[in-house]
Amino acid sequence: MVQTLVNTRELLEHRDDLSTPAGLVAWAESEGLPCPARPTEADLTRMRRFREALRQFLGNAEGAASVLNGELARTGTRPLLRAGPPAADFIGDATTPLDTAITRVLAAVVTTSLDGSLRRLKTCAAEDCLWAFYDRSPNAVSRWCETSVCGARHKMRAYRARQAAGRTAD
Ligand SMILES: [Zn+2]
Ligand 1 centroid to Cα of residue 157, in Å, is: 15
pTM of the model: 0.85
Report the separation in Å between the CA atom of 111 and the middle of ligand 1, taken as the mean of its atom positions: 26
What is the whole-number distance in angstroms between the Cα of residue 10 and the centre of ligand 1? 10
Q: How many angstroms separate the alpha carbon of residue 34 from the centre of ligand 1?
A: 30
Q: Are 155 and 6 in contact (CB under 8 A)?
A: no
If one counts every other C-beta atom within 10 angstroms of the C-beta of residue 135, the result is 16
2-169: CATH topology is Jann2411-like fold (1.10.3300)
Residues paired with 110 in a beta bridge: none
Distance 52 CA to ligand 1 centre (A): 16
Q: Separation of 118 CA from ligand 1 center, angstroms?
A: 18
Pairing of strands 87-91, 121-123: unpaired
**Ligand 1 center to residue 129 CA distance, Å?**
5
Expressed in angstroms and rounded, the spacing between residue 49 Cα and the centre of ligand 1 is: 21
Could you give the residue ranges of the DSSP H alpha helices within 21-170?
Answer: 21-30, 41-58, 64-75, 97-115, 152-169
Q: Where are the domains of the chain?
A: 2-169
Distance CA(125)–CA(118), nearest Å, equals 17
Q: What is the pLDDT along the chain (170 residues), one digit of tens a residue?
A: 999 999 999 888 889 999 999 999 999 999 999 999 999 999 999 999 999 999 999 999 888 999 999 999 999 999 999 998 999 999 999 899 999 999 999 999 999 999 999 999 999 988 888 999 999 988 888 888 874 557 655 566 567 777 887 765 55
Q: What's the 150 CA to ligand 1 centre distance in angstroms? A: 4
> Are 85 and 77 in contact, with CB atoms under 8 Å apart?
no
Q: What is the pLDDT of residue 166?
A: 75
